[in-house]
Structure 1
Amino acid sequence: MITPTLGNIWLFIGTSLALLLIPGPAVLYIFARSVEQGRLAGFVSILGIHAATLVHVIVAALGLSAILASSALAFSAVKYAGAAYLIWLGLRKIFGRNELPDTETGLKAFGVARLLRDGFLVNLFNQKTALFFLAFLPQFIEVDRGHAAMQIAFMGLIYTCLGIITDGSYAFAAGIAGDWLRRNRRYLAVERYISGGPLIGLGLTAAFAGNRGSRQQ
């Protein structure tokens, strides 16, 4: 068999859902995009985010994750690149020109390609996702059943599908809230700080708090 046992799969699904429901950089990014531009922009961002998740799946399945896990330099490079990108997105939001389109025109104004690109890069360098595939997912692989690469790929695809569902729920809820927030003058006055501030905070947290987590692996 090339897949883990059914009981192990259900355990993996339950644990993955618990992890995915905890807001991390990708979830907060989706929330900010959906509030700012509407649900459709949030859903497009999700496609970019989980295209990057599939990259993590492929890397793990090919065994490159083991190399990354054993190399402090490679892990640090991924961590700090992701942190720097989040901080850059936040600074661009705060100090850039005001880009708060209506829900109907938001996707056109920002462009599908840009939404896909930003979402992809946020999750490609997302330490939470990287750590999941480097340290957590292998615990559910049953070595005695063989085909470890296929088991990792199978579990990774399950995780990706679950992520699309949970992130889609966040985008839907945030899009509804955004319809009201965009009509609120007080919110419009501070919107750039509300959207940009959390991104900068996430980047700083990933940069400084990640060292402790990497030493514990």
Structure 2
Amino acid sequence: MLVSWTAILGVALIELGMVLTPGPNMIYLVSRSISQGTRAAMIALAGTAVGFFAYLAAAALGLATLFAAVPAAFVVVKIAGAIYLAYLAWHMLKPGGRSAFDPVAIAPVRPLRLFGMGLITNLLNPKIAVLYAALLPQFINPAQTIWVQFLILGGVQIVIGVVVNGLIAASAGRLSRFLRTRPVAMRLQGWLSGTLLAGFAVKLAFEKQPAQ
């Protein structure tokens, strides 16, 4: 078998953990869903999905190899991503911090811009960059065709990422209303999300160079 079930399960579990941890994609999609409706969030999610495919194409074409050839590039992505995730965590954990489901008023925008912002948000998402550059290569068997393995494992990541983000965006309005009537639950959700983000930032800061 070109890709083992162990590798598929490993990637699936990693992506599930990452997509359930609030980050740029979730925050943007939830904000759009609450402020502009589920349809707007689904259009933005389409842009997010294209961003996933862009990372997959880059990985299949040798993103991990590039980082191995230019170690400084990997370090920059790693440190910048860790700082950004720590910044998001602080805004949730600080006194008066906000939950990802605490509605923020944002102006409605046209479908093309919704799509574009979803795409850009994902392309600039450090969690996804590190997933494809540092984590996915750990499940690649160098004895098999590498680009095909990237396509299969990346496909697993994309399906899980799009489906879970879609479910979260679709239920964001109802969940936000539920939490707003329960301030303690809203605060606990913010603390939990912030703690997970902070933990991921620390893990990312100490991430090792991709194995070749």
2:158 aligned partner: 160
- State the AA in 1 paired with 2:54: V
Q: CA deviation at 1:154?
A: 1.1
User: Could you tell me how far apart the structure 1 residues matched to 2:168 and 2:18 are?
Assistant: 14
Instruction: Write out aligned runs for 1:42-81 (5 A).
Output: 42-68=41-67, 70-73=70-73, 76=76
User: Could you tell me how far apart the structure 1 residues matched to 2:24 and 2:155 are?
Assistant: 20
1:213 aligned partner: 204
2:130 aligned partner: 131
Residue 49 of structure 2 contacts residue 162 of structure 2 at CA under 8 Å; is this kept in 1? yes
Residue 39 of structure 1 contacts residue 176 of structure 1 at CA under 8 Å; is this kept in 2? no
Task: Decide whether aligned partners of structure 1 residues 61 and 167 sit closer, same or farther in structure 2, where only a CA change above 3 A counts.
Answer: same
Q: CA deviation at 1:177?
A: 4.7
Moved over 4 A (4+): 77-81, 209-212
In terms of fraction of residues, the more helix-rich structure is 1
Q: CA deviation at 1:157?
A: 1.2
Q: CA RMSD in A?
A: 3.3
- State the AA in 1 paired with 2:131: F
Q: CA deviation at 1:129?
A: 0.2
2:32 aligned partner: 33
TM-score (norm 1): 0.66
User: Could you tell me how far apart the structure 2 residues matched to 1:32 and 1:45 are?
Assistant: 11
User: Could you tell me how far apart the structure 2 residues matched to 1:15 and 1:212 are?
Assistant: 13
Instruction: Write out aligned runs for 1:126-205 (5 A).
Output: 126-144=125-143, 146-177=144-175
- State the AA in 2 paired with 1:156: G
Say how many residue pairs are matched.
172
User: Could you tell me how far apart the structure 2 residues matched to 1:66 and 1:114 are?
Assistant: 33
Cα deviation 1:57-83 (Å, max 9, x = unaligned): 0000111333146342576379869x6
TM-score (norm 2): 0.67
Cα deviation 1:10-35 (Å, max 9, x = unaligned): 23222321222111111111111111
Stretch deviating more after TM superposition (13-22 or 157-166)? 13-22
Residue 78 of structure 2 contacts residue 207 of structure 2 at CA under 8 Å; is this kept in 1? no
Residue 140 of structure 2 contacts residue 150 of structure 2 at CA under 8 Å; is this kept in 1? yes
The share of aligned pairs that are identical, in percent, is 25
Task: Decide whether aligned partners of structure 1 residues 123 and 36 sit closer, same or farther in structure 2, where only a CA change above 3 A counts.
Answer: same
- State the AA in 1 paired with 2:204: G
